[in-house]
Amino acid sequence: MQTFRIVLTIGATILLQALLSQLDLFHGYVDLALVVTAYYGLQRAPILGMFAGAALGIGWDSVAGGILGVGGFSKTLIGYLIAVASIRLSLENPLARLATVALASAANTVLFVGLYEVLEQSLPHAGSWQEFGRTLGWKVVADTVAAIPIFLILDRVFSEQTAARRMAIKRRFYE
């Protein structure tokens, strides 16, 4: 049942991201795939974070166009790093979760642009350092704000796992 909900969430995220990009809301700054990858990474399961990041990244790469695999690589790495950090640190606090999303958004943007530069491809929002900095800032803000309702929805969808995760964190860090 949980696997079905994970697959359904990944599919719905890619579909919703495609719809939002058609509507040109937020000028393409919100990366729902990254926010959902961060959520799965915060579940304290590195394999889940990696696979969710890979599926969301490659799924979005195939829908959006561009170089297939760049988004998949960056989101796989982000999902794994968040999962490892959530095992070592207590990231259950809502502010810590939002800070994690902000850091993940900045890292994802830098990785994405860096990979495109290595592959000698140009991106429209990385023409100059000033333009890149502005885009980086807006992506961090947009992803962090989008994470608030998405995390609330996903916490309800995966309520059993949320309760178990909170108990495990409480036992490890507070007892």
Token pair belonging to 56: 């969301």
List of domains in the chain = 2-174 (1.10.1760.20)
Question: In angstroms, rounded to a whole number, what is the distance separating the alpha carbons of residues 7 and 119?
Answer: 31
- Nearest CA among 46, 53, 47 for reference residue 69: 53
pLDDT at 28 over 90: no
Per cent of the chain over pLDDT 90 is: 54
Confidence at residue 166, expressed as pLDDT on a 0 to 100 scale: 64
Average model confidence (pLDDT) for the chain? 88
The model's pTM is 0.89
Question: In angstroms, rounded to a whole number, what is the distance separating the alpha carbons of residues 77 and 83?
Answer: 10
